Amino acid sequence: MTITLHSATVPVFKNTLRNLSYILDKGAAHAEEKKFDPVALTTFRLAPDMLPMTRQVLIACDAVKNGVARVSGVEAPKFADDEATFDELKARIQKTLDYLATVPASALDGKEDTDITFPIGRDKTRTMKAQAYLLTWVLPNFYFHVTTTYAILRHNGVPLGKGDYLAGAAAAAA
């Protein structure tokens, strides 16, 4: 199989979203085992002026949802952004996976050089070719928020290893 824009992005996003859901399970189990309020973990920040874990998960989800929607033209659902619990965050990840499943390969493939204009901050936009946009903007942004979620959990003692981040969901299903 020759690589395509879809195969280079959507399965990659799905794989990591499933692993993100898996590491959230470990966070929830840790809170239960240690008998602390899980909200202390989902609202934790690595620095006072960084976003809390809930937002890290939501932004990871929306990075791929909006990135794929902009390139594919397959409209993405909008969500209320009111997730607070581990279960709600996992449901948000599932909704993102459900959306990705609706995007056919043909909606992305061949669009490498299509100009994509996207918002940066509140009042600016930027334009990139679709391949560069997905691979050098959406993808590092996505991994940034997934890894920051992992770092917040790990910093707070959740028993996680890099294998959980790389392949936890597949290992759990095997």
Q: Give the residues lining the site for a second copy (CB under 8 A).
A: 1-5, 7-8, 11-12, 15-16, 46-47, 50, 110, 112-113, 120, 131, 135-137, 139-141, 143-144, 147-148, 150-151, 154-155, 157, 162-163, 165-166
Four-CA torsion 72, 77, 80, 81, nearest 10 degrees: -40
Minimum distance from residue 130 beta carbon to a second copy (Å): 10
Minimum distance from residue 63 beta carbon to a second copy (Å): 11
Cβ nearer to a second copy, comparing 63 with 69: 63
Cβ nearer to a second copy, comparing 5 with 31: 5
Using DSSP's 3-state secondary structure scheme, residue 79 falls into coil
Cβ nearer to a second copy, comparing 102 with 136: 136
Cβ nearer to a second copy, comparing 37 with 113: 113
Q: Measured in whole angstroms, how far is the alpha carbon of residue 152 from the centre of its chain? A: 15
Contacts of 90 (CB under 8 A, 6+ apart): 21, 24, 25
Cβ nearer to a second copy, comparing 88 with 141: 141
Q: What DSSP assignment string belongs to 138-153?
A: IHHHHHHHHHHHHHHH
Minimum distance from residue 129 beta carbon to a second copy (Å): 9
CA angle 141, 116, 101 (to 5 degrees): 65
Q: Which residues of 128-139 are buried (b: 16+ CB within 10 A; e: fewer)?
A: bebbebbbebbb
Minimum distance from residue 132 beta carbon to a second copy (Å): 8
Residue 117's H or E segment, with its range, is: strand 115-120
Minimum distance from residue 164 beta carbon to a second copy (Å): 11
